[in-house]
Structure 1
Amino acid sequence: MTTVTELLDAWPLADDIRIIPRRENLLLQPPPETAMKMWREHSLLQAVHFPNEYIAADFSPPKDIFCGDTLRLEWQQMNARQPFYHRNADVDEISLQVSGERTLMTELGSVELRPGDFSRIPVGVAHDNFGRKEVHLLFYIIAPVTDLGHVALRSEVKKEGPFPGWKKATPSAIEMMTECLGARGCDIVVSMADEDLLLDPSLAQSTSFARSGEALVVQRATAPRVSGSQQQHPEWLYKSATVWIGNVNLDKTDGKVYSRHRRADAIQYQLEGSRTLVTQRGTIEMHPGDYICIPKGCAYTNISKGTCQYVVILTSEIASVKAPYCKMASETSMEMVEAIRKDAAS
């Protein structure tokens, strides 16, 4: 009979953690039928999928994955320049470069993004993208959002153009301001703008910029991989009042430490490698490009035969799935868990 550890926390509202010893078979076992059942029947978890690699296609709008009142997560691929400058009225816009290369051009300067790079565009800052056979994720989060991770790069000067494959918008560029988390159809106003003025960070006139010397910041995850029965807490990269974003690196892991968030749903995105996600609402294989939401109060753990990397987004506000499901978890049983654990150990 396996004894495991459960970590019960209140993320993203507090850092306190309660450590609870558990009999794993009881933790994963639903109660028997009784004459007066006072609980609901919960469905098994399901996952959605978007490819991590570019697939040749005409330019198209991003695809929504999850969306709520304080968070929207979308997938986009590009092999061209975005046809307008975008300015958010209500959110900080965070991106994760999944594959390929992308130039991000903003009023705070420009940066070249490579796979694994996270960037944050502060609310109200105009920006444009030029992607080359690339895929990236966008996280729209009600501002303000705080940077917490390792700073790998800061923009310092404006991007000199034209550069290969890019042409300046002449005689002027389109600029769009949006509300409601940057969603389509939420534009406030669309106008024209001088691109040379937009792309020169020395002309930024915000008192906040002047005080802090604010630049466009690129972060990369740096935490080492862990293995065995160790529990890898996410390396937190961003925090807002309602949303935390972090990165998890796993090595060969036996899944004997469970997590449970009493105040937050956990959206997970598989970036590299594969793992088995074991939960009180089913067991499912997570492969690159898979997304899943583990509801608050549901205990879960990972069993991994090799190295893998995934992104976790904790949100205290519901963010409903907007993409079609591609697969469903299987009923969790101790026989299944022990077989997976044995295979991972071999």
Structure 2
Amino acid sequence: MGTVHEHLETFPFDAAPRVFERKEELLLAEPLPAPIKRYRDHPPIEVVHFTPTYVEQPFAHPRGVYESEFLRVEWQTMNNRQPFYHRNCDVDEMSYQVCGERTLMTDLGTAELRTGDFSRLPVGCAHDNYGREDIHLLFYTPAPVAELISEDRRAGLVIPAFPGWEAETVNELITECLGGPGNDIVMAPADERLILEQVEREAEPLKVLHPEATAPGTTWLYRSGLIKIGRAYAESSDGRVYRRVRNAEEIQYQISGHRTLVTQRGTLLLEPGDFVRIPVGVAFTSIHPEPSAHITLSSAREVPQVSEGTRRGERLPVAELDRLREGIGR
């Protein structure tokens, strides 16, 4: 049997993990027969896939992928303008720009977002979006959330906000909780120019992060008491180091490259546009001969999947995993 290493990690990952040696065939095997069953039957891990390239379609509300009482993850596509400004009373809202262009207009400044950009709307920030062949991800979680790296740039006052923009009276929607359906408080008209000019009276404008695309390992970007969001990159991986997070589950979104995700609940080939959730305490690793990048979101509480799955993991024999490793690292 081949030997691998397991890193037993503790969220929020401020201390070094414990490291164990494991026989990989046993780590991924079914339990041995026993006179009394002391474990539950769990479903295999599951992928939710949304196309990572823009496809023309009518305006639609964001599509929920994972959601709990304290975190919501959404996928959104736009080729138009949002029909109202939104201001939430409880959560910070992070976004990742998958493709296309998006003008983010807020009372903390206006910013042009491009592929690879991250942004955070602090709690209480009024905002609107104008997307052009845009796809972006959204992460809502109770405030406060802090940035963990320096910004790439800051938003500012931009009038007109985009070509063809004219000041108008617009609707402003105030929401509570995670800001989803049923969380509205009030909607009322507002002067858009006054909203956008508010940035000149603010000490902290909106920040845009753009982590280095080929920075090895995980670049942590945002942190709250219950979650951390980062960007992970590796030139290649032979998957001989497994991770097991004892007190958090992990949601991943594949940005680029193809990667074989190996877990104790099945193995999956991931491609750009794939979401996957790894439950707390499940050991996992990745195998890929070419560069791979993904978003990683660690959550100290369970975040159930609310979108229909696309495909499920299957158990692969270790001999097949060794075949996938051939040539990696040589």
TM-score scaled by length of structure 1: 0.91
Query: 2 CA distance for matches of 1:41 and 1:163?
Result: 54
Contact 2:105/2:161 (8 A) holds in 1:
no
Q: Is the 8 A contact 2:167 2:193 kept in 1?
A: no
1:184 aligns with 2:181: yes
Residue 24 of structure 1 is matched in structure 2 by: 24
Q: Which residue of 2 aligns with 1:215?
A: 205
Question: Where does residue 76 of structure 1 map in the other structure?
Answer: 76
Q: Which of 222, 244, 258 is the equivalent residue of 1:260? A: 244
Amino acid at match of 1:201: Q
For the residue of structure 2 that corresponds to 1:95, the secondary structure is: strand
Secondary structure of 1:319's partner? coil
Q: 1:162 to 1:21 in 2, by over 3 A?
A: closer
1:94-133 alignment to 2 at 5 Å?
A: 94-133=94-133
CA distance in 2: counterparts of 1:70 and 1:327, whole angstroms: 26
Runs of 4+ with >4 A deviation = 343-346
* Displacement of 1:163: 2.9
Pairing 1:126-165 to 2, within 5 Å after superposition: 126-155=126-155, 157-161=156-160, 163-164=162-163
CA offset at residue 216 of structure 1?
0.5
1:302 aligned partner: 286
Letter of the 2:158 counterpart: K
Kindly tell me the number of residue pairs found equivalent between the two proteins. 330
CA contact (8 A) 1:223 1:235 kept: no
8 A contact 2:9–2:245 mirrored in 1: yes
Which deviations, in whole Å up to 9, do the C-alpha atoms of 1:247-299 show, x marking residues without a partner? 00111210111111111010000011110000111110000100010000000
Query: What CA deviation, in whole Å up to 9, does each residue of 1:291-327 have, x standing for no partner?
Result: 0100000000000120111001101111111111100
Partner amino acid, structure 1, of 2:205: A
CA separation in 2, counterparts of 1:86 and 1:113? Answer: 18
Shift of 1:16: 4.4
Aligned to 1:323: 307
Contact 1:69 1:317 in 2 (8 A): no
Aligned to 2:233: 249
Q: Taking structure 2 as the reference length, what is the TM-score of the superposition?
A: 0.95
Task: Indicate if the aligned counterparts of 2:8 and 2:17 stay in contact, CA closer than 8 A.
Answer: yes
Q: Indicate the RMSD between aligned Cα atoms, in angstroms.
A: 1.7
Residues 162, 330 of structure 1: alpha-carbon distance in 2 compared, 3 angstrom cutoff: closer
Q: Which residue of structure 2 lines up, in the alignment, with residue 229 of structure 1?
A: none
Could you tell me how far 1:111 is from its partner in structure 2?
0.6
State the match for 1:167 in structure 2.
165
Q: Which residue of 2 aligns with 1:340?
A: 324
Distance across 1 between alignment mates of 2:300 and 2:141: 12
Q: Percentage identity across aligned positions?
A: 42
Offset at 1:150?
3.7
Q: How does 1:223-238 map to 2 (within 5 A)?
A: 224-226=214-216, 232=217, 234-238=218-222
Q: Does the 8 Å contact 1:281/1:332 carry over to 2? A: no
1:202: Cα distance to partner? 4.5
Unmatched 5+ residue regions in structure 1?
Answer: 227-231
